[in-house]
Amino acid sequence: MMTCCRCQGLMVEDHLLDMEDTYGGLWIRGWRCLCCGDVVDPVISRHRVMQQNARALGTTLVLVEEEEAAEETEAQQFSLTT
């Protein structure tokens, strides 16, 4: 069982539509909290981990275009597996 990092509520699997995709819409699998509505998907999870690592190192996180391209590829691959 997955719990929400904001309110400790129950997270359920949800299918989300990414409207930023250049091909129209891309369906991705994510998690939504039933209590507060917080949404977590693979991209959000990765950014949170990167932010935590940057804080632990005492550095500032800077995303570059290559990272954004990698995220798009990962999201497309993730959606193909669902």
Rounded distance between C-alpha atoms, residue 25 and residue 20, angstroms: 7
pLDDT tens, position by position, 8-67:
999 999 998 877 765 666 788 899 999 999 999 888 888 888 888 887 877 665 555 556
Identify whether 6 is part of a domain.
no
The candidate with the shortest Cα–Cα distance to 36, out of 63, 67, 5, is 5
- Residue 49 placed within a domain: yes
Torsion angle in degrees (nearest 10) through CA of 56, 57, 63, 67: -90
CA dihedral defined by 66, 67, 73, 74, rounded to 10 degrees? 160
pTM of the model: 0.56
Q: Look at residue 42 and tell me if it is in a domain.
A: yes
Q: Is residue 37 part of a domain?
A: yes
Q: 29 is in which domain, residue-wise?
A: 11-80
For 21-48, give the DSSP string: -TTS-EEEEEEEETTT--EE-HHHHHHH
Q: What is the count of structural domains for the chain?
A: 1
Domain assignment of residue 5, yes or no: no
